[in-house]
Structure 1
């Protein structure tokens, strides 16, 4: 079929926009790496950098071979619950746009494993990363994607099969962040806290990251990448709306970027003052996590809420994060990067927030191309009824359940096979020296300590025995 010049230009612009967004999301891997490296102790910096690289490279293969097919396959073997069960590009036409879409979705997939790896940092065997990263990127995460983002998924707002609405998770507060957070929860729970994290009376012992500069750098890189994560989820910006001559998906792109910025900024400033009241000083690291918590929360409803609502979202996300951090310390739950609380807790809040504040006009723009005469469930607090909020709660429940019954047994099996946690001696000496040939820094501060040499020699003897 002959394609008109106008359609060719439209397709080209859509493809370029989608690829540019994919590159922005991929930059978030660098942000994750810097954030994680700065948040751990110096003796584990090499390890955490390597795991971030592994998340990307292993995720690439598993998502190509299996993940994309589970998520978006529409062949003869597909269904609303598991997609199709063959190689990823089996049912995808050989067009530049579809390859671009694969790349964009791949950038999301590798981010999920990065979230989980942060939760179990500083005490996990490297081989365990290879196993869970492949399984999470190739199977667990793509199934959730199919439910919510595939056009025939049972939770999809495009199909409107559930409560006449479907769940609105525009860029993945649940699909990406809650999945990664719950997987991290199980890994952390099964492993237990790091050596020395809690004293004999159960009180927390500070284990601050070694480089605040890297944490701040990583936070700004993640902020930059989020402009591809959220606005980029309008994968086709040149879509003509019926009955209009000047509107299309591009009209929501700027608004989505604004709501993203406002939610993150509000969460950051709220965390700054909230933590100041609680601990008595200004803490840059807490602000960075608060900022990211706001981004995580707004990711679900970024395209369907007003800017003022994004401020509400960020304010509440900050207190969700602060509250969960206090709770986890009381429960002796040790997540070095607060990934479970940040991505899991704020991700769940983001889904609830969307069910409360989504605006009908914006919902129709995002999911019905602005079609006139369409009515959809929207935010409960704006008069839209319980339908959308009900779908949001269902999404939370099924994600928690699905990730628990898949990733929980994976971590449990790795633990029973002695493949999950490193030994106490290795943990005390640091993963860099025990597993990666040396510390990340030429002049490591612990090298001047006499205990270092004893730990070093003991690990070397174990490695050669």
Structure 2
């Protein structure tokens, strides 16, 4: 009787913790929305806010119908089974709180991709790719890494290369997936009108509200305390109500290393960009902070605080370098999403393979069992097993997402369902697709040198009013 009572209390605490973490991760959707809205021009603010809502609601349906089953079906190492698996919860082992937590991750992926193709994409295209990405593309990768029956899982009984890929909270599964999808969408669409001049020189198209960006950044920081410390329940063998996987005493350390990596990346970005451009830039600091969070997400459970500082330092220079490279290649990503989530997500996976501590790896993936031996960070003497698995995860994600998302964006483009017309883009998505601006007199925030088509449009609007 006493054991049963203790188990009931343990299950209750685990469920409450998991649900609270899920709520924190969902708060990140508010952060995404704020950053996205502040980073675009005022004439597109309503459009990007609506897109962030759509990413969440469409992702809810697709993840319920298909995504959860693909991610956590347990009979196939490459593609999960049991479609509509959530319907089996009352009579099976599935747990609603676990589903909610996984759903919060799934809808975050589409938000990353949306940032890369902002300000020039048809609204209907968002509906298509959000459904496909949340319901199929992302869940397959989640299955590979987080399902105990899958080929790359570090929780597998026979892990790949003796280690499996350690991607604790999703530097690759979430961030790199969203970034590669956004990269292909942005490449196929091409840059925004006016982003580069006739000689290929970049022209700044600044976002209209730095306040929203800063608020959104702090909301994401807050949400990351659910994203990383809450992720113990993503590596469990079964589901949180039936497993005690992981050493819960490390939850505080995970929150600390997350904070240190982000803070280091932010301060390095602040001073580095000051040297490069000659002034302090709040937007760069915010992106640097997020880059640090993205890269520590993979190894947050298995590294020391000092290693997190190294992680953040390198992250800042990766982001700065990729942004410079993007401009040289005439690549246009309004939110730097591909550079931030892709570049920093890749570094995060490699960083884990270099700096993971053996004791912490065993804590997270073997319940701290004495006598267990498994690969850990290469720099710490742990051999090539872990860094090899991390590298394989990177290439597997790039190949899988490219093979699925590139054809989808290409098909939408050929069907003329992807990019809006030049006149609509100049006028702004708010007025061309949503019937009005998010702000009164939003056109006052825009460039002074509009093409004549836009001037004619405004003249007609004045006459009608």
Q: Quote the RMSD (CA, aligned, Å).
A: 2.1
**TM-superposed deviation, 1:249:** 2.4
- Mark the CA change 1:84 to 1:204 in structure 2 (over 3 Å): closer, same or farther: same
Kept after mapping to 2: 8 A contact 1:237/1:250: no
On the 8 A contact 1:238/1:249 being kept in 2, the answer is no
Equivalent in the alignment of 2:59: 59
Aligned residue for 2:347, secondary structure, equals helix
Alignment match, 2:410: 412
Which secondary structure state, in structure 2, belongs to the residue aligned with residue 4 of structure 1? helix
CA distance in 2, matches of 1:379, 1:237: 31
Cα contact 2:350–2:390 (8 A) shared by 1: yes
Q: Say if 1:237 and 1:294 are closer, same or farther in 2 by CA, change over 3 A.
A: farther
1:71-96 Cα offsets, whole Å, 9 max, x none, are 0023xxx3010001511314545589
TM-score by length of 1: 0.93
Secondary structure, in 3 states, of the residue corresponding to 1:380? coil
- Answer whether contact 2:430 2:436 (CA < 8 A) is retained: yes
Unaligned runs of 5+ in 2: 234-239
Equivalent of 1:279, from 277, 280, 283? 277
Tell me which residue corresponds to 1:454.
Answer: 456
Question: TM-score with structure 2 length normalisation?
Answer: 0.93
Aligned residues: 451
Q: CA deviation at 1:239?
A: 7.2
Note the 1:55-454 alignment, pairs <5 A: 55-74=55-74, 78-92=75-89, 98-159=95-156, 160-235=158-233, 249-446=247-444, 454=456
1:71–1:144 CA contact under 8 A, matched in 2: yes
Post-superposition CA distance 1:275-296 (Å, at most 9, x none): 0111010000000000000000
Matches of 1:447 and 1:5, distance apart in 2: 62
Structure 1 contact 15–97 (Cα < 8 Å) conserved: no
1:373-405 CA-to-partner distances (Å, cap 9, x unmatched) read: 001100000000000000000000000000000
SS of 1:265's partner is helix
Structure 1 residues 346 and 453 mapped into 2: Cα distance closer, same or farther (>3 Å)? same
> Per-residue CA shift, 1:281-316, capped at 9, x if unaligned?
000000000000000000000000000000000000
Q: Which runs of 5+ in 1 are unaligned?
A: 242-247, 461-465
Report the counterpart of residue 245 of structure 1 in structure 2.
none
Aligned-pair CA distance for 1:442: 1.7
Deviations 1:220-241 (A, max 9, x none): 0000000000000022599769
